[in-house]
Every structure is written in structure tokens, then in C-alpha cells.
Amino acid sequence: IPKETMKRVLQSTLLAPSGFNLQPWQIVMVQCPSVKQRLAEDAMLGGGNKGRVRDCSAVAVFCADLELEQRIHRIVQLQRQHENNVHNNTIGGMDI
């Protein structure tokens, strides 16, 4: 896969919308043959899938944040800060 193509795929994935724009995922692109082999053996079900992982140019591993509720306090904090800035006609402490 050409690097530019992989870069575009990753960028579009990272810009995909999610609830509250939290984007609770990380993506790891794996190209190393030995790591793909381990993924095939340890993470894939079915012989066909194992072969595909071993033989492909790159594997996208999606890692999800399963404890997303721990970030909710930060969302509330940012929302309050935004509301205060709008109320005070400021952005980042500067008058608008």
C-alpha cells in the first residue's frame, strides 16, 4: 500500500465522527511481518482470517477506550469554559 494512500485512510478514520466527538479509539498500523504473525495467531479467529493477516501489506488494529465515562468530567469542564467565554465575549482570555 503506498504511504500516501495509507495516510489518507488513517486521516479519514481519525476524522470520523463519534458521540460528543470523543473519538474513543486509537489505530495502530502494523506492517512488521513478525507482529502480523503474532496477531494472526493470538487475535484472529478462523484459518482464512489468520492467512489474510499474515499476507496483507498492513493491518489496522483498532483499540477502543472501554472506560470512556472517565472522560466525561473533562467534557463538562470544556463545555463550561466555552459557555463562560461566550458569556464574557472572550476566547482564550482575549476579548472578541
Q: Among the ranges 16-25, 65-74, 77-86, which has the highest mean pLDDT value? A: 77-86
Name the more confident of 88 and 16: 16
User: Helix, strand or coil for residue 87?
Assistant: helix
User: Residues 41-68: pLDDT tens digits?
Assistant: 988 777 788 999 999 999 999 888 888 7
Alpha-carbon torsion 73, 74, 75, 77, what sign?
positive
Cβ contact 40:54 at 8 Å: yes
